[in-house]
Structure 1
Amino acid sequence: MTTRIVLDCDTGSDDAVAIMAAALHPELELIAVSTVNGNVALPNTTENTLRVLDHIGVKVPVHAGAARPLVRPDFPVPRHILNADNPDFQIDYLDLEPSTTEVRPGSAVQLLIDTFLVPENDDVVLVALGPLTNVALALIAEPRLAAKIRKLVIMGGAHVGGNVTPTAEFNFWVDPEAARAVFSAGIRDIVVVPLDATHSAPLTATDCEEFHALGTPAGTAASALIRHRIEEQLEPETAAVPVHDALCIAYLVRPDVITASGSYHVDVETSGDRTLGQMIVDTRPWSTAPVTATVATAASAEVFREVLRDAFGNGA
């Protein structure tokens, strides 16, 4: 039995790996993709998504979503400052042709509402790999939506140590108000895959070689994408890198890829000079706060690479 999924993403390199895994793994059925402002501006995340799908020969509806955060005009540190050294980053080093597929009419927000309000889609899982702006907007626009989403898997947050700041992970930091709105909406099953889990299951140059050896468009592209991440490290010869978003896809196929987790009350800080965007996980045994999410804290790199090999080997 396959799991049907909708991806909401801000396609940079790790999203691209996740999209290919979701589109090609035989146990998954990718039914739609929505794009959001995040790793790069919305036009680029959308074009990146279309190029990746074209590259692997998969036709899936793609809808563009929010071009800015829920309430803020820009990132907490504006994009032109944060990305001053690389403002137009796409995945051009893959040499992918410009997309020949058109983005679908209608917003990503309407896509989410229309998809999850339909009774025959009550088995669909929503996977959010970027800032949670689209998801929050959909929940605000349609109050019935929270009860209709069977499961939401989120790549975001960090229980211990951020990446864009010492306390915050990028996706939650970009739009903390959206993240808070999603956790407080009452969705019955939220699984968060934060940096704690993704950093515990890194991939290596050897994995890149194995993906490339599969001889498929997806294997070759994934190899190049992950190798690019490795080469950006301070010591690339020995580096192993997290491929954050793709771990969420592996979880859908092999839940045992997550080796440690707990169910907690989760919130996101929306103010503070040092704590903006921080994921707050209430681990106190005596806490009376309602449980809002399952939070993964560790993962298996071995299971992760097995899932990716199965997906990328399935490409034509």
Structure 2
Amino acid sequence: MAVRFIHDCDTGSDDAVAIFAATAHPELHPIAITTVNGNVDVAHTTENTLRVLDHAGARVPVYAGATRPFVRPDFPVPRAVLNRASQLHPEYLDFPVAVSRAEDQGAVSFLIDAYMDDANADVALVATGPLTNVALALATEPRLAARIPRLVIMGGAHGNGNVTASAEFNFWVDPEAAEAVLSAGIRDVVIVTLDATHSAPLSGADCDVLDGIGTPAARGAAQLIRHRLEHDQAAASGEEGGGEVASPVHDPMTVAYLVRPELFTETVRAHASVETSGGRTLGELIVDTRPWCPQPPNATVALRASGQVYREFLRAAFGQPASG
């Protein structure tokens, strides 16, 4: 049977690749997508999600979510300032304007209803954006923590961050939400860190493979990955070195893990928390691996991934036989 899950996301380029892969993979069944303020504002993340689904010919209900962080009125640095020099996540993805529409119900209300329903006891929750929607749902209905069977998060960095020296974007954007979710008591939490995603980057050759498959979803994914490659190439233009550029494509690893758990080749089971007040460390993922840590482990933290397994997942998702 296909793995059923809800995808909570802030659809920019890599969330979109995850959506393309999840809706195409024969062993995955996204039952709904909830959108959140993150890479772009929630109106754009919702429209982008609908565009991706329409382009793929997939019918998945979409629920729009939080417009601002869990506690803070805005990001630690407003998005307009943060993204002034970056085109990694344009407001609108380059696909036709959506014909489908979001549901009338909001994301937080939907998440509560979905997980309080016994029929969804097997439904995993995958979060590839800031954890605002999840934190709001847990705050509104604390019993939800015992109802979510598995939560897979793209967030945090055990080594270097990507917004600050210590913080990854999703956790930095809404650190209070991330801390609230990690401390809620959900029984099975997997954190996919930048360490893992950077260990298995994708290249132009991988895009060629997807283009060769030829489906709208495969070509759409290749288009988005090439955009990331071009962005990273431009960012690295002043650095020494040459050869083919390869870039991490973070979010699809979360859905890949649902069907290929061997994707992660190095993990640690530990107590994980998020810094919510440090001047230089706001949003930092703290993984306490001390043998004498006073708190019990609350998460499995992925630190390295297999590029081979990741590519196999993408090929399977977009319809290429394993021998191809």
Q: TM-score range by the shorter chain?
A: over 0.9
> Contact 2:44/2:92 (CA < 8 Å) preserved in 1?
no
Which residues in structure 2 correspond to 1:47-62 (within 5 Å)? 47-62=47-62
Q: Which residue of 2 aligns with 1:290?
A: 296
Q: Which residue of 1 aligns with 2:23?
A: 23
Instruction: Give the partner amino acid of 2:181.
Output: V
1: CA distance, partners of 2:206 / 2:199: 15
For residues 258-292 of structure 1, the C-alpha deviation after alignment (integer angstroms, 9 at most, x for no partner) is 10101100100001111000000001122231111
2: CA distance, partners of 1:296 / 1:268: 16
Instruction: Give the partner amino acid of 1:78.
Output: P
2: CA distance, partners of 1:288 / 1:178: 23
Structure 1 residue 86, shift from structure 2 partner: 5.4
CA RMSD of aligned residues (A): 1.3
Structure 1 residue 97, shift from structure 2 partner: 1.1
Aligned: 1:157 with 2:163: no
Structure 2 residues not aligned, in runs of 5+: none
More displaced, 20-29 or 230-239? 230-239
Structure 1 residue 143, shift from structure 2 partner: 1.1
2: CA distance, partners of 1:191 / 1:2: 20
> Contact 2:269/2:299 (CA < 8 Å) preserved in 1?
yes
Instruction: Give the partner amino acid of 2:144.
Output: L
Q: Which residue of 2 aligns with 1:167?
A: 166
Structure 1 residue 244, shift from structure 2 partner: 0.4
2: CA distance, partners of 1:86 / 1:45: 17
For residues 83-128 of structure 1, the C-alpha deviation after alignment (integer angstroms, 9 at most, x for no partner) is 2245882354x3x110001110111001110111111110000000
Instruction: Give the partner amino acid of 2:215.
Output: T
Q: Which residue of 2 aligns with 1:267?
A: 273
TM-score by length of 2: 0.94
Instruction: Give the partner amino acid of 1:240.
Output: A
Structure 1 residue 230, shift from structure 2 partner: 0.6
2:255 to 242, 249, 252: 249
For residues 45-97 of structure 1, the C-alpha deviation after alignment (integer angstroms, 9 at most, x for no partner) is 000000000000001100000000001111000112112245882354x3x11
How many positions carry a matched residue from both structures?
A: 312
Aligned: 1:306 with 2:316: no
TM-score by length of 1: 0.96
Matched-pair identity in %: 60
Instruction: Give the partner amino acid of 1:266.
Output: A
2: CA distance, partners of 1:128 / 1:23: 16
Q: Which residue of 2 aligns with 1:132?
A: 131
Q: Secondary structure at the match of 1:302?
A: helix
Instruction: Give the partner amino acid of 1:21.
Output: A
Structure 1 residue 24, shift from structure 2 partner: 1.1
Q: Which residue of 2 aligns with 1:90?
A: 91
Q: Secondary structure at the match of 1:144?
A: helix
More displaced, 232-241 or 173-182? 232-241
> Contact 1:13/1:91 (CA < 8 Å) preserved in 2?
no
> Contact 2:10/2:129 (CA < 8 Å) preserved in 1?
yes
